[in-house]
Amino acid sequence: MVRAPCCESIGLKKGPWTAEEDQILVSYIQRYGHGNWRALPRHAGLLRCGKSCRLRWMNYLRPDIKRGNFTEEEENAIISLHGLLGNKWSAIAAKLPGRTDNEIKNVWHTHLKKRAKSNRAEREEPVKEAATPWRSCSELSSSTTTGSSTATRGHR
């Protein structure tokens, strides 16, 4: 028993959304809510699949979505949360109210990934050693023992 693909049905519209379709979706959700995304387009009178309606609502039409560029604080939060959580975009979006997981993922891959990588490289850059050659522990202990015993014998 396999669920039939939703978007291969004959007559469903694909491509960019029109302002009229956006208005139909918004007014339907405001009036009835969004209980069943697969049934919503049929009840609302849209010729779209449920997944398309859900993504349009979640990423573009929700009234609580923040618009515009990310602030410096939001970018720093994304970098630090990505260090803790990895590519769990929904978990990161839950910590940044008004931002969608898709938007955060896009900002990460287009702007922040390079910055985070360069910051990490700067922190992990090894400290340059002094010009003296490397000595093993046995060399250090033998030279210290020999040097001190010679100095002691010379003063007797």
Question: Domains in the chain, please, with CATH?
Answer: 19-61 (1.10.10), 72-123 (1.10.10.60)
pLDDT value of position 149: 47
pLDDT value of position 3: 65
Which amino acid makes up residue 4?
Answer: A
- pTM reported for the whole predicted model: 0.64
What phi, psi does 97 have (nearest 5°)?
Answer: -60, 135
pLDDT value of position 119: 78
Closest CA to 57 of 23, 13, 89: 23
* pLDDT beneath 50: ranges in the chain: 148-151, 156
pLDDT value of position 131: 53
